[in-house]
Amino acid sequence: MKIILDNRQDDKEISEDLLKKIEKVIVACLEYEDYSDDYEVSLSFVTNDEIKNLNRDFRNIDKVTDVLSFPMLSDDDFEIEYEEYSLGDIVISVDRAEQQAIEYDHSFEREICFLVCHSMFHLLGYDHIQEDEAEEMHTKEKNVLDSLGITRGQKYEQERK
C-alpha cells in the first residue's frame, strides 16, 4: 500500500498519528472488498477555495464540498505489470472537514477517516446516486470504520497548537 500525500493547506496540521489511521482505513477498505494491498492512492489536503475550484472544473458544481474522488480503475485497464496499481485520487477540504467535525460533534480525525473511507468506496466503484446504492455504501463505510473503532459519538475536542 502506497499513499502519495500532497498537503496543499496550512490551516491544520496533519499529524503522523492521523496519517497512520488513514492508512489503516485504506487497507481496511481494500480488505473489506477482497482486494490485495498492492495499490497506490493519491491523497491531497486542500483549502475550501481549492476544492471549490476543483468541484467547479471537474463536476460543474460551483460550491465547496468536503471530498472529491477521482477513480483510476476501469474494466479497460491494460495488462501491464506495475509495482502498485493506482486506485485514484482523494482530495479533502481540511476546512470543511473541521467544520463538519464540529457540526457532527466528533473529532477532526474521525471526520477525516470517514471522508477517506467514503472516498475509497468511490475509488472502488461504488456510488450513492440511487437510494439502494447509498444504503449499501453507507453500510460498507460503517462496517469498516466500526471494525477500526472509529465510531460516531467521539466528541470533538479543540486541538491545541
Tallying the residues shown for the chain, one arrives at 161
pLDDT at 133 over 50: yes
Q: Of the ranges 36-40, 81-85, 111-115, 155-159, which is most confident? A: 111-115
Least confident of 3-17, 33-47, 81-95: 81-95
Measure the CA angle with vertex 50, ends 111 and 28; round to 5°.
Answer: 35
Residue 153: pLDDT above 90? no
Q: What is the mean pLDDT of the chain?
A: 89
pLDDT in tens, 68-77: 999 986 555 4
Residue 127 to residue 118: CA distance in whole angstroms: 10
Among 8, 30, 128, 5, smallest CA distance to 85 is for 30
Q: In the predicted model, is pLDDT for residue 154 greater than 90?
A: no
Residues in contact with 89: Cβ distance below 8 Å, sequence separation at least 6, in sequence order = 41, 42, 43, 44, 68, 69, 70, 72
Question: What are the pLDDT digits (tens) for 51-96?
Answer: 999 999 999 999 999 999 999 865 554 444 545 688 999 999 999 9
pLDDT for position 158: 37
Q: Please, are residues 80 and 128 in contact by the beta-carbon 8 Å criterion?
A: no
Residue 70 near residue 91, CB atoms below 8 Å: yes
Q: For residue 48, what pLDDT band results from cuts at 50, 70 and 90?
A: very high
| Stretch (H or E) spanning 116 | helix 108-123
